Structure 1
Amino acid sequence: MATPRKIIIDTDPGQDDAFAMLLALGSPDELEVIGVTAVAGNVPLARTTLNAQMVLELAGRADIPVYPGCERPMVRSLFTAEYVHGDSGLDGCDLPAPSAPLGEKHGVDFIIDSLMAAPPGTVTVCTLGPMTNLAMAMVKQPAIVPRIAEVVLMGGGFFEGGNTTPAAEFNIFVDPHAAHVVFTSGVKLAMVPIDCTYKAILTPGWLAELRTVGSNTAIQSAGMAEFYQRFGNEKFGTDSYPLHDPCVIGYLLRPDLFGGRMCHVAIDLVSPLTAGMTVVDWWNVTKKPPNCMVLRDLDNDGFYALLLERLARLP
């Protein structure tokens, strides 16, 4: 069997972040999570750090350390999303306080040290929230950039507009300067924007299947998803709502479930109307060199079949 792909998960849990973490942890033959870094985003850093620890322990993986990272964006003030995720960021579940200690390094230093210690091209960085930690690592130690196998991020949007402003998706809007650093770094990039994740529709029928698994992980995950869906139900007027962040891990596991193309992507930093927008040159009108694989299509049935199978492996 092939050696599992080593990944760092950089996250701001968030119910959909939790699903992404659990999908990775349920796939040990393909993915080895070497560490988790927390960043301020959906909720402040103290809470995202705690949430990451609790999700790891829910999956029986308290051995994986969590490293707290940046408390605020590189330039702007922090904007959070309790209006979506609840005050805890993980409303809808009942998880005990974590028992394992935090990692002893700052999250930025963990990213740098891990990439510098590993053979070049062997560690993938998965960003599920604002890209502050990764961008700060690139600024502090530029030598990490060519050592990264790939950065796969959930963020941005173009054809669907934004979900936080009419033009900007949340993760990029919170720290557009960090996104700019990453997108102009030359690193290999794959972007899972809301143009793709809006097609990852979680249905009541799938949630019922998840509950029938009967494990603690399945029951707690279903509770998280049901809370998370309330916001979507109000926003879209439906009983179904997409899970965004697990698409990052789904792409690593089953790229055949996704479709997209290489494009040039730039981050708007200055406009009062469109700051944080990911400007995707889908039709190559600028003739600028592509810097990102932009995913737009998703096999929803295949994706949720994979997610259910991997969640069912967890305790």
Structure 2
Amino acid sequence: MMRQCVIIDCDPGVDDAVALLLALAAPELDVLAITTVAGNAPLKKTTRNALMLRQIAGREDVPVVPGVDRPLRRKPSGASEFHGEEGLGYMAAFAAAKGVADGHGVDAIIDRVMARPEQSVALVVLGPMTNLAMALRKAPMIAARLGPVVVMGGARSEGGNITASAEYNVWADPEAADEVLRSACDVVMIGLDATHQVRASEDHIAALARLGTPAGDVAAAMLRFSQDVERRIVGGDAPPVHDPCPVAWLMDPGLFNLRPCRIEVETGSELTRGHTSVEFRVDPATARHRWATSADAEGVFSLITDRLQQGPSLA
């Protein structure tokens, strides 16, 4: 099997946790590094959480490298109401046996992209795009070498989840998202239009809990916390599962429908800060952006359950 080289850039986060466990168990993926960023929680916590999850997944071979600790121009804005004070729902924090790798997350992205053939390294961005924006500032040539950048972010027909029109990851650092989307990167954006179709039912959560694996237990606990948040804030029982979707797309692109487009981000207005303008009237031959319009929810959950049952995928 030809494995896709990938860097996971994240801000764990309960749904980031499921995404990381999926990526680290996937035989389809060769995870070169996990880079962390401030977002759902401060950088110190998102980095600690990534180390915890790496240990639970049994993948201490994958380096965790902390990145940028604040948005490009704005004050940090956490999301503890959706992820808990420590970022991982009800899970108690612990000190992982193995610490972070040397260096900075921005350099980790640049170095790994430049060390491999052009367009052979995908970057999955599960939080604010701050690390990638800084990497593009420092080494613009990586834009043409990355292939592709798969982002969980944005909203169009679904409306926002942090404001009326903005999705949290883009809203948290809209200037970073704007810089990435104006770059030469090939961007696949899987936003709320698709992720709101991937909802964790009681049956999905129970199936993960029945696996009897550490990763399955943690994934079930993360989704149970999200279910409780959904009940408290929205009044529903099946929370959307956002961050595993970009990982699932890399593993099985057929689970999502994409349309070529041009995506721009609002940075000037506080009222519409982080709004993603998605324009489908583009030439498909030259479009650098693709937008997910729908997702096969059962296919995504089958992928998660199957891979977390199998255990870690070692390089």
Scaled to the shorter chain, the TM-score interval is over 0.9
Note if contact 1:167-1:274 (Cα within 8 Å) is conserved in structure 2.
yes
* Distance in 2, Cα, partners of 1:285 & 1:264: 7
Could you say which residue in structure 2 is the equivalent of 1:129? 127
Could you say which residue in structure 2 is the equivalent of 1:8? 7
**Runs (4+) off by over 6 Å:** none
Larger CA deviation: 236-245 vs 95-104: 95-104
Q: Deviations over 1:215-271 (max 9, x none)?
A: 222112211211122211223311111110000011111111111200111011101
Could you say which residue in structure 1 is the equivalent of 2:23? 24
Could you say which residue in structure 2 is the equivalent of 1:257? 255
* Distance in 2, Cα, partners of 1:188 & 1:290: 9
Could you say which residue in structure 1 is the equivalent of 2:289? 292
- Secondary structure of residue in 2 paired with 1:37: strand
Asked if 1:213 is matched to 2:215, the reply is no
* Distance in 1, Cα, partners of 2:259 & 2:117: 28
* Distance in 2, Cα, partners of 1:210 & 1:79: 31
Supply the AA of the counterpart residue of 1:195: D
Asked if 1:37 is matched to 2:73, the reply is no
Percent sequence identity over aligned pairs: 41
Q: Deviations over 1:34-73 (max 9, x none)?
A: 0000000000000000000111110000111111100000
Task: Structure 1 unaligned segments of length 5 or more: list them.
Answer: none
Quote how far apart the aligned CAs of 1:296 are. 1.3
Q: Deviations over 1:116-165 (max 9, x none)?
A: 11111110000000000000000011111111111000000011111001
Calculate the aligned-residue CA RMSD, in Å.
1.7
Asked if 1:178 is matched to 2:176, the reply is yes
Note if contact 1:257-1:302 (Cα within 8 Å) is conserved in structure 2.
yes
Note if contact 1:12-1:128 (Cα within 8 Å) is conserved in structure 2.
yes
Supply the AA of the counterpart residue of 1:222: A
Where do residues 159-198 of structure 1 align in structure 2 (5 Å cutoff)? Answer: 159-198=157-196
Larger CA deviation: 177-186 vs 112-121: 112-121
* Distance in 2, Cα, partners of 1:66 & 1:25: 12
Note if contact 1:92-1:226 (Cα within 8 Å) is conserved in structure 2.
no
Q: TM-score, normalised by structure 2?
A: 0.95
Supply the AA of the counterpart residue of 1:211: A
Could you say which residue in structure 1 is the equivalent of 2:228? 230
Supply the AA of the counterpart residue of 2:177: A
- Counting matched residue pairs gives 312
- Secondary structure of residue in 2 paired with 1:297: strand
The verdict on how the C-alpha distance between 1:62 and 1:261 changes in structure 2, with shifts beyond 3 A counting, is same
